[in-house]
A and B are shown apart, each in its own frame.
Chain A
Amino acid sequence: MKHFKVIWAYRYFIISSIITEFRTKFVRSRLGAIWMIAHPLAQVAIYALVLSAVLSTKFPGVQSQYAYAVYLMAGMLAWTLFAEVFSRSLTIFIDNGNLLKKMSFPKIALPLIVFGTAIINNLLLLISILVVFGILGHPLFLSLIWLILLISLTLSLAAGLGLIAGIMNVFIRDIGQMMPIVLQFWFWLTPVVYVSSIIPEKYKYLLMLNPMSSVVMSYQDVLLYGRAPDLLTLIYPCGLALLSLFLASWIYYRANEEMADVL
């Protein structure tokens, strides 16, 4: 409870930091916010150009010739949020080491700023993806409402795992070096670019061990197929998200005192 009180007391700082982050990112660039969504959309375009010929026929029930592009965008929407929150949580305490050593303020404000920024980024990406859908003639479904759940789930999962890694990274810096590599493998172990059906049946369980697989597939359900996600498959990532958040707050609580010592 005490923590929530502290966060509430610092709400203005958190909000103003999020605004500051956007403002400083674009204050000196002409195109401003466009750059934020340009990166994931460019990736989608690249994969779509390179791979659509190979994969374009494998979406049952979807007529559009742009099905693969839509599929990619659905997966990218999930993955960019996950990757951004995870990799920024990983270095959040080290990046702000100087501040943490010299100013007294609740450390927990820092990841909250990251989460807030990432959510806004992701919503902007979502809006632009929906605009692209409109241009491509892909219909928007009522199932979009599921995105609220899916985005929260992705955020929680990334926040929990990212903070565990981020706190440990303060003490064991190898983690910060290792995680970007892990994240790359992770991306290719998640059916963002390819379709899960190309994985042989006997290795499918390996894919499902990855909590992001069912999350990404749910995004694709909602955005591409226009159907509700398979909630049973989401139990595992939900449980893992809760567990990792609990573990992260435990570690934060224990390591809080020692963090400024080693920064």
Chain B
Amino acid sequence: MNKYVLEVLNIGKAYRTYKNEWHRVLSWFGIASKMIKEQWILKNINFTIKEGEAIGIVGQNGAGKSTLLKIITGTLKPTTGHFNIHGRIAAILELGMGFHPDLTGRENAYHASGLMGFSREQIDAVIEHIHTFSEIGEYFEQPVRVYSSGMQVRVAFAVATAYRPEILIIDEALSVGDTYFQHKSFERIREFQKQGTTLLIVSHDRSAIQAICDRAILLDSGSIIKDGAPEEVMDFYNALIADKENKTISQMQDTNGNIQTVSGTKEATVEEIALYNNKDEKIEIAGVGEQVYLKLKIKVHEDISSLVLGYSIKDRLGQVLYGTNTWHTNQVIYNPKSGEIYEIVISFMANFGVGSYSVQTALVDKETHLSANYEWKDLALVFSIINKDKTFFTGLLWNEPIVRIQKNEPN
């Protein structure tokens, strides 16, 4: 399991612009030209990926994600550095590339597989699998131009995943056709992963990254700025997009070894945060379904026009279970003055499954943290839920059922 499937060594990519394209032609013949302007899209990219890992690649638009993937898949050549791939690489980036509308699904499946470098015999061996997996039945023998876009995507996905690759690159959201097929295609990807396929996933979707990946790489303006556990990287990424003008992101380890990310412009800060029970005792462990109170003390450091507190409760993988803010509850604090202190009590039922949870807080001015971010604190508080008095259940949500069983006499 510790075999490296991909080693990226010092990869950089520059787009060269010449004052005149003839200088480029001359450069092929070894005649150097001084007119070169180089624009570096990627710089000093280094990472290694082991067999079976699932890696999320995140970053803002223009951070260099797709350039990096194009280099790894081989459509672009790196300007500096090199990479080693052990095994075959497949990409679900452009489904249906190379499909011809006048050919049937079957013919296109052959043709597109050929484009991926397979021989006729190899395709013969999987063509029936492609047919059944795509579930389009008789349409497989009809020209693609009569297909719905969903059907086309089904065939394309079936072709792209006909053979298990050592590395599978998956683009954004993976919205393959209808919901049913999304589940099915995801199932297939999971299956590949179990068999040792390494996944490289590009997405902005925090929950997708955290649900699938066991590592994330954050790219920003062409460099890797963070490489680590998905939750930590996604917190950092979140802080990064909030903090475009004011780059004060700090990450520190709390007593439990969790890495807390704090960012923001600090016009207002959360001074204290704690969880209380019905008896007004400070707690770290709550029972399933117990009434709890989240108490926060907020200090205003500068006069601002509005103040909104947002919070969300996440499971240990960082998936948000519930989140809202005082904009949505119509409780915006207008014109708070410097030095003022606000106490906020949020009461709710701890209707969660057994496990560890965290609270993330955000002090902002409006409904999102994109216009002003006073303070954003991931893992501001960690608490656990235990099952004291409820029927045994699994899952994240306590949703007490009433079960009725009736025996029918055989007639």
Contacts and interface: CB of A to CB of B under 8 A. Distances in A.
Interface of A: 9-13, 16-17, 20, 23-24, 27-28, 98-105, 168, 171-172, 250-251, 254-258, 260-261
Tell which of A103, A105, A255 has the most Cβ of chain B within 10 Å: A103
Contact of A23 (B21, B29, B103): B103
Interface residues of B, number: 34
B24 A260 contact: no
Contact of A172 (B21, B115, B117, B143): B21
A124 B111 CA distance: 24
B24 to A, nearest CB: 6
Contact of A20 (B93, B97, B103): B103
Given A103-B97, A103-B98, A172-B22, A9 B117 contact: yes
Nearest to B72: A104
A28 B102 contact: yes
Contacts of A254: 28-29
Given A103-B94, A171-B21, A257-B77, A20 B115 contact: no
A20 B100 contact: yes
Contact of B94 (A102, A105, A171, A256): A102
Interface in B1-52: 15-16, 21-22, 24-25, 28-29
Contact of B102 (A11, A27, A257): A27
Given A12-B119, A256-B77, A260-B77, 15 more contacts: A11-B119, A12-B123, A13-B115, A13-B117, A24-B103, A99-B98, A100-B75, A102-B93, A103-B94, A103-B98, A103-B115, A103-B116, A171-B25, A255-B28, A260-B70
Nearest to B79: A257
Contact of B75 (A9, A12, A171, A260): A260
Interface of B: 15-16, 21-22, 24-25, 28-29, 70, 73-77, 89, 93-94, 97-98, 100, 102-103, 107, 110-111, 114-120, 123, 143
Contact of B16 (A12, A13, A23, A258): A258
A23 B106 CA distance: 14
Contacts of A105: 115-117
Contacts of B111: 13, 16-17, 20
B75 A16 contact: no
Which residue, A17, A251, A257, A261, has most C-beta atoms of chain B within 10 A?
Answer: A261
B76 A17 contact: no
A55 B4 CA distance: 74
Nearest to B89: A104
Contact of A99 (B74, B89, B97): B97
Given A12-B120, A251-B28, A261-B15, A104 B102 contact: no
Nearest to A106: B117
Nearest to B28: A254
Contacts of B98: 99, 103
B76 A260 contact: yes
Nearest to A252: B28
Given A16-B111, A102-B94, A258 B24 contact: yes
Contacts of A28: 102
A27 B123 CA distance: 23
A16 B110 contact: yes
Contacts of B25: 168, 171-172
A103 B89 CA distance: 11
B24 A171 contact: yes
